[in-house]
């Protein structure tokens, strides 16, 4: 069973904000680039609602986070591909 996930907004929200379960840990293990992108964005992310606690994030905050992760993930992937061809 492969759990390599596509970096969609919903998948990123579920991965980062989801309940910590063995299945989630397995998804993290199989998607290290996506998880790294989430961690990097989380360091400096300022939600549009200005809420500081993740538990209080609105849906729009989570979507903004996921879109920022998508951009970071694309940057990571393009860097890796450039290194492959170098």
Q: What is the pLDDT of residues 27-70, one digit of tens each?
A: 999 999 999 999 999 999 999 999 999 999 999 999 999 999 99
Structural tokens at position 86: 């170098």
Please tell me which residue, 46 or 2, carries the higher pLDDT value. Answer: 46
Write down the pTM of the prediction.
Answer: 0.89
Query: Region 65-77: what's the mean pLDDT?
Result: 95
> What is the pLDDT, as a whole number, of residue 75?
93
Under a CB-based contact definition with an 8 Å cutoff, are residues 9 and 66 in contact? yes
Please, what's the b/e burial string for 6-42 (b: 16 or more CB within 10 A of its CB; e: otherwise)? ebeeebbbbbbeeeeeeeeeebbeebeebbebbebbe
Please, which pLDDT band fits residue 1 given cuts at 50, 70 and 90?
low
């Amino acid at each position: 069973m492969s759990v390599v996930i596509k970096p969609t907004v919903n998948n990123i929200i579920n991965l980062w904000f989801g309940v910590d379960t063995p299945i989630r840990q397995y998804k993290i293990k199989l998607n290290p680039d996506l998880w790294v992108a989430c961690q990097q964005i989380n360091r400096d992310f300022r939600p549009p609602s200005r809420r500081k606690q993740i538990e209080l994030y609105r849906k729009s905050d989570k979507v903004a986070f996921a879109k920022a992760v998508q951009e970071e993930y694309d940057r990571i992937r393009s860097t890796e591909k450039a290194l492959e061809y170098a």
